Structure 1
Amino acid sequence: MILVESVVGNEGDPIWKANLEGASIDALQLDQWQAQKNRFRRKTEAGVEVAVALERNTHLHDGDILAWDEANRSAIVARIQLQDVLVVRLDGVLGQSSDLLARTCVELGHALGNQHWPAVVKGSAVYVPLTVDRKVMASVMKTHAFVGITYEFQPGAEVIPFLAPHEARRLFGGADSTPHSHLPAADPARAHPHEHTHVDAEGRVTTHSHPHEVAGPDDHDHDHPHAS
């Protein structure tokens, strides 16, 4: 077993890129959820067990070199597959009136919340992980037709360098589910409608409502993952 407490370098660095030419590479394949952890054990493609124990609030990046054997010119390299990210840009509304800016941001937040899509706000951009097919997400954005808002899809590997560790975990760590509360008893008097928008394979958008209950002072709710 190999213990990794810090990375040796990254294959994207010019020095290491040259040094790894002709070397034997053993990949440690990680999904985007595993990559956000700083402590775990996993086997490489060649069957070598690796125990990762990084400092708190740090995580691996694609191409990180976990071990290097100069004599045998061999390395263990992290391979991380990150999903694309929907990037919503608000630059077009920042110069508008405060009323339009507030209304647009509230409408955007309402739309994202209806889909149970987690998001991270950085400056004038909103980053949303792909929890469903990108065509579906594009159809939802197109349907709402937000004035002054543009959007695009970017590879997760291009986005993550600009994120703090907790923001990266929100986008890439278990992005397929978000906490959602349900109450054990149904009381129509305390229920309020909640809309969901669905887009089928042909791009048709439909919206329906169902009641969600509002918790009272004597209620005991619980959180559990709710699939998007």
Structure 2
Amino acid sequence: MIELAETYLGNITENASLSKRIEKLSLQEDYLEVYLSQTDSGKGRIHTHSTSGIEVGIVKSRDWSLREGDIFETQQGKLLLVHLQEQKVMVLTFIEPVSDAAKEALHQRAIDLIHLGHVLGNHHWPIIIEDGKLYVELVVDAEVIEATIRHFAIPGLDIGYERLSPQEHLTFSEHAH
């Protein structure tokens, strides 16, 4: 039998009474916990399994994303605690400083970066730029994205990876036509 959670009660980091309620229940193991990907956190309907193996459905508005510590009540009266998994993202940065001395190379690098952005968008790979870094959400195999980026052979462009905790969640822009 599926536990259906539609009633949002709040977040344990902001609501002390909810936090205490979960602490009491944890002694009896009388609540459900789920671990969701950051991508799933924005969906309106989520199908998953609790840590104890119970099938869970979460129904919410798409206007907001789930956060670490969100609490729902299921139709059967159980509390559901939401955890978000850490997220691995690709990070593009320049390892060599951009200098004014090489204006021709700088001009070509700018054109290559614009073209790269266009290609990433056409593949519908969500991106965000923060603190001089271009983050690419890994919605397909990292090797596929890396091969596409390496094809441009942009001098000084470094491809790395970071793991982001649920508290460091990035909101990626979606490409639409």
Normalising by the residue count of structure 1, what TM-score does the alignment of the two structures yield?
0.49
Q: Choose which of 18, 26, 34 in structure 1 pairs with 2:40.
A: 34
* 1:134 counterpart = 2:142: yes
Verify: 1:92 aligned to 2:92, yes or no: no
3-state DSSP of counterpart to 1:92: coil
How far 1:36 sits from its partner (Å)?
A: 1.9
Q: In 2 relative to 1, CA 49–125 (structure 1 residues): closer, same or farther, beyond 3 Å?
A: closer
Paired residue for 1:107?
Answer: 112
Q: Which residue of 2 aligns with 1:179?
A: 176
Deviation at 1:90, TM superposition (A): 3.1
Provide the C-alpha distance between the structure 1 equivalents of 2:149 and 2:57, rounded to a whole number of angstroms: 44
Instruction: Report the Cα offset of residue 134 of structure 1.
Output: 1.0
Contact 1:89–1:150 (Cα < 8 Å) also in 2: yes
Matched length = 153
Structure 1 contact 8–67 (Cα < 8 Å) conserved: no
CA-CA distance at 1:5 after TM superposition: 4.5
Aligned pair 1:76/2:80, yes or no? yes
What amino acid does structure 2 have at the position aligned with 1:76?
L
AA partner of residue 149 (structure 1): L
Q: Which has the larger radius of gyration?
A: 1
Alignment partner of 1:8 is 2:12: yes
- Relative distance call for 1:131 and 1:102 in structure 2 (3 A) is farther
Say if 1:2 and 1:51, in contact at 8 Å, map to a contact too.
Answer: yes
Secondary structure in structure 2 of the residue aligned to 1:78: strand
Return closer, same or farther for 1:125/1:49 CA change in 2, 3 Å cut-off. closer
Question: Residue in 1 aligned with 2:162?
Answer: 154
- Distance in 2 separating the partners of 1:130 and 1:48: 25
SS in 2 for 1:142: helix
Asked if the contact 1:4–1:50 (Cα under 8 Å) also holds between the matched residues in 2, the reply is no
TM-score by length of 2: 0.60
The residue identity in structure 2 corresponding to 1:120 is: I
Following TM superposition, by how much is the alpha carbon of 1:145 offset from its aligned partner in structure 2, in angstroms?
2.8
Displacement of 1:149 in angstroms is 1.9
Alpha-carbon offset, residue 110 of structure 1: 0.7
1:145 and 2:153 correspond: yes
Deviation at 1:43, TM superposition (A): 7.3
Note the aligned Cα RMSD (angstroms). Answer: 4.0
The structure, 1 or 2, with the larger RCO (C-alpha pairs under 8 Å, 6+ apart) is 2
